[in-house]
Amino acid sequence: MPALLRVLMMMYIMVVLIAVWRFFEVQEVDLFTLGAAPVIFGIWHQKPWTLIVMRVYLAIQTLAFSALGVTAIIAYQLTPEDVVVTFKGVTIPMLPLVLSIILLLGFQIFVAFTKQTKHYLKTNTVTS
């Protein structure tokens, strides 16, 4: 397994664990984060459909964060003092948050479209 794909899989495992923790905490299912589970399964078992599922999942993430960004920009134009992100009472600065989202999406897109990932998922060496 390529190193970048291994890092991406660990990142997705953390996301799924957070989604499961959130389910037990709030009693709500978050399909946006649980969507990483089929990608993890496909990467682990080298399924040929994984590349398509991963790219669709990335497209959904990109669309969601783009919509959130456009909404934040419009809200900032109307009332700048009301555009804040808080988590459990802590205000998160906007610039580091936006840069983190861009870097995480960029990394995922880079890994999803590299030749190593395509080659790894096309060669089905793991028996099911």
Amino acid in position 81: E
Q: Would strands 90-92 and 85-87 be described as parallel, antiparallel, or unpaired? A: antiparallel
Q: pLDDT band for position 127 (50/70/90)?
A: low
DSSP 8-class letter at 93: P
CA distance 116 to 111: 8
What pLDDT, in 10s, does the model give residues 2-24? 899 999 999 999 988 888 888 88
Where are the chain's structural domains?
3-122
Main-chain dihedrals φ then ψ at residue 114, nearest 5 degrees? -80, 155
Kindly list the distances between the CA atom of residue 125 and the CA atoms of 17, 37, 53, 64, 122, in Å, as whole numbers in the listed order. 28, 21, 20, 35, 9
pTM beyond 0.75: the answer is yes
Which among 30, 31, 51, 29 has a CA at the least distance from the CA of 39?
51
What pLDDT, in 10s, does the model give residues 37-90? 899 999 999 888 999 999 999 999 999 999 988 998 898 889 888 888 888 889
